[in-house]
Amino acid sequence: MMLLLCSLLAAWAGPVHTVLPGDTLLGLAGGDADRAEALRELNGLDGEPVVGTLIELLPSQLAGAQQTAFLLSAVGEVTQAIGQQAPTPLAVHQSVSPGSTVCTSEGGSAALRLATLCTSDGDRTDDIVLSESTCVKVESVYADTSQRSTAVRVLSGSVRVQEGDADGAVSVLTDAGVTAGQGGFRVTVEEESSRTEALSAPVAVAAQGVAVDVGAGQGSRTVVGEAPGPAVDLLPPGVPTRPGEGEELVRPRFEWEPVEAALGYRLEIAADPTFQEVLQSEDVSDIPWSPPVFMLPWPSSGSLYWRVSSFDRLGFVGLPSKAMAMRLPEGVGR
C-alpha cells in the first residue's frame, strides 16, 4: 500500500498555499517574474493575493503529483461521497480522491492519511483524525520529493491534524476562515464560527484579509464574516492518577487532578498512544468518572490508552495530558 501511494502519479497539480501577511506573487514564485505572472494567471488574480485565501502554486521542478488520500483507521461507520453522488461506506485503506467528502457516524472516529512523502528514512505523512459526527471535504493533496501540501474543508464537527514536520503544510478551511500549520492543531466548526486550538505547534488563523499568529498552547475563535479573534491561552490538562501507567483496568473508574478555572474535562480512550484510533470521547464535569457502560473493542496488544483535557468557559479545549496505558486483567477476554 505504501509503495503504491509513493509511486502514484495522478493528474498533475501544484501545491496549495494559505496566503499570509507579507506574501506576494513574486515572493511565492521565488523571485522569478515569469513564474509570478504564471501564478497570477493560474489563480485568476488581478492583483496580489488576499491574506487568508487559498491559492494554487506552480508545481516545483521536482517530481510530484496530486496524490490520493486513504482511510487509515475507522471506528464506527465512515462514508464517502464523491462529487454529488450519494454517500457510500468507506473501508480502511480505501482511497479518497480530492473533492470527496468523508463523514463519521455518531460515536465514531476516523483517521485519514493525506499526502505521503517517501524518503530513505521512511515515510513522512499528513494525517488528520475526524471526531464523531464530522464531515470533511478533501480539497487538495500534493507531494513532491521535498514537500507536502494538503487542504481539507471541515463542513461539520472537529478534526485534529496530527503532529507534522517541516516538509508538510496543512490548511484547514471552514466557513469562518482558514488555519494553516505543519500539524499539531485542532479545528472545530461551531454555530456561525470556528475554533482553532494549537496543541503542539504554532499556526496561523486567517479570515477577512487578517491573520493572527496562534502559538502552541493557545487558541483563537473566528466568527463568520469577521477577522480572527485574539490568541488566548489554553488550560493545562489534569494530570491522570488512576488507572496509572500500565495498571490493570479492574474497574472502569478514571481519576485525575482538577484544574483551576476548568468548566469540565474531555476524557478520551484510544487503541493507540497517538490517539489516531479514538474509541470513546466523553465531556464530563465531575472527578472521578465511571462510565455506566464500558464496552470497547480491546486491541490484540492487550492495552488501551486514555488521556484528559480541560475545557474553559469559552469552549476552548486545552492541551491533552500524557497518554496512559491500561491493561486488561489476566484471563479476561484472552
Other CB atoms within 10 A of residue 151 CB? 25
Domain ranges of the chain: 2-56, 64-233, 240-327
- What integer pLDDT is reported at residue 309 of this predicted model? 97
Instruction: Give dist(CA 63, CA 213) in Å, integer.
Output: 32
Q: Write the DSSP string, 162-175.
A: PP--TT--EEEE-S
Least Cα distance to 209 among 197, 225, 193 occurs for 225
Q: What are phi and psi of 329, to 5 degrees?
A: -55, 145
Q: Indicate the average pLDDT of the chain.
A: 87
pLDDT tens digits along 4-48: 334 333 333 568 889 989 999 999 888 999 999 999 999 999 999
**Four-way CATH pick for 64-233: 3.40.30.10, 3.40.50.2300, 1.10.4080.10, 2.60.120.1440:** 2.60.120.1440
Residues in CB range of 295: below 8 A, 6 or more apart: none
DSSP 68-82: -EEEEEEES-EEEEE
pLDDT at 76 over 80: yes
141-166 mean pLDDT: 88
Cα 34 to Cα 62: distance, rounded to the nearest angstrom: 18
Beta bridge partners of residue 130, listed in sequence order: 110, 159
Run of H or E including 27: helix 25-28
Q: What is the DSSP string of 208-230?
A: TTEEEEE-TTEEEEEETTSPPPP
Report residue 328's pLDDT band, with 50, 70 and 90 as the boundaries: confident
Domain 240-327 has CATH 2.40.50.100: no
pLDDT value of position 2:
36
Grid cell for residue 194: 470556528
Residue 85's Cβ-count burial label (10 Å; 0-12, 13-18, 19+) is: exposed
Could you read off the pLDDT of 123-133 as tens digits, one per residue?
Answer: 788 899 999 99
pTM: 0.89
Q: What mean pLDDT do residues 217-241 have?
A: 96
Q: Which three cell numbers stand for residue 69?
A: 488520500
- Please state, in angstroms and as integers, the Cα–Cα distance from residue 307 to each residue in 243, 256, 280, following that order: 11, 9, 11
Distance CA 220, CA 179 (A): 10
Among 114-118, 131-135, 255-259, 292-296, the least confident range: 292-296
In this structure, the strands spanning 247-248 and 324-327 are: parallel
Q: What is the DSSP letter of 277?
A: S
Distance from C-alpha of 259 to C-alpha of 263, rounded to nearest angstrom: 9
Average pLDDT over residues 127-156: 91
2-56 carries CATH number 1.10.3470: no
Phi/psi at 199 (5° precision): -90, -40
Which CA distances in Å does 75 have to 104, 163, 224?
8, 21, 31
